[in-house]
Amino acid sequence: MKLVAAALLATLHLRMPIDGVGPETLKGGFYDAREGHPHEAVDIMAPRNTAVHAVQDGTIAKLFWSKGGGGNTIYEFDPTNTYAYYYAHLERYADGIAEGQHVSTGQVIGYVGTSGNAPPNAPHLHFAIFELTAAHHWWQGKAIDPYPFFASR
């Protein structure tokens, strides 16, 4: 990771995307194996239709249906377009959420579900952070373990 990006990331103050969940639930999930590849995300278990909140001010870069993976997904870019926050397996998006829209920290952007390849009896939010490449493609970046950014709060 570039030194500037690492320094910026260290200053992030991220909100938990789901109310009432402590950071300890995120520990270790990033490194779990999934069907022959690293998970590179954390799964936050919650009842179906629990509100999912934006972890930081930013812009909705992409609303995407990932048939083979995350189902209903949201890619949110931070204000500097350095990082992307990925929210997946959503039951649905919050009313009015659209690509290009500014969102504020804590704003409801979606709801926990089991879309995509999530087990139907295990609603959860699949949450990831990645450093964007110079091209700023929503689908490309270097995965970063989210746990330290919530554990230090």
For residues 118 and 58, the answer to whether their CB atoms sit within 8 Å is no
CATH class of 3-19+42-151: mainly beta
In this predicted structure, the answer to whether residue 23 has a pLDDT above a threshold of 80 is: no
CB-count burial class (<10 Å; 0-12, 13-18, 19+) for 101: middle
Q: Which helix (H) or strand (E) holds 45?
A: strand 42-45
Higher-confidence residue of 35 and 135: namely 135
Q: Which helix (H) or strand (E) holds 150?
A: helix 147-151
pLDDT for 2:
47
Residues 6+ apart with CB under 8 A from 118: 71, 89, 124, 126
For residues 141 and 130, the answer to whether their CB atoms sit within 8 Å is yes
Q: What are phi and psi of 31, to 5 degrees?
A: -95, 0
Q: Predicted confidence band at 42 (pLDDT cuts at 50, 70, 90)?
A: confident
- Give the C-alpha separation, 51 to 74, whole Å: 14
| Average pLDDT score over residue span 27-34 | 60
Higher-confidence residue of 56 and 70: namely 56
Would you kindly state where each structural domain of the chain is located, as residue ranges? 3-19+42-151
Q: Predicted confidence band at 10 (pLDDT cuts at 50, 70, 90)?
A: low
Q: What are phi and psi of 42, to 5 degrees?
A: -125, 145
| Average pLDDT score over residue span 81-98 | 95
pLDDT in tens, 65-78: 987 688 999 999 99
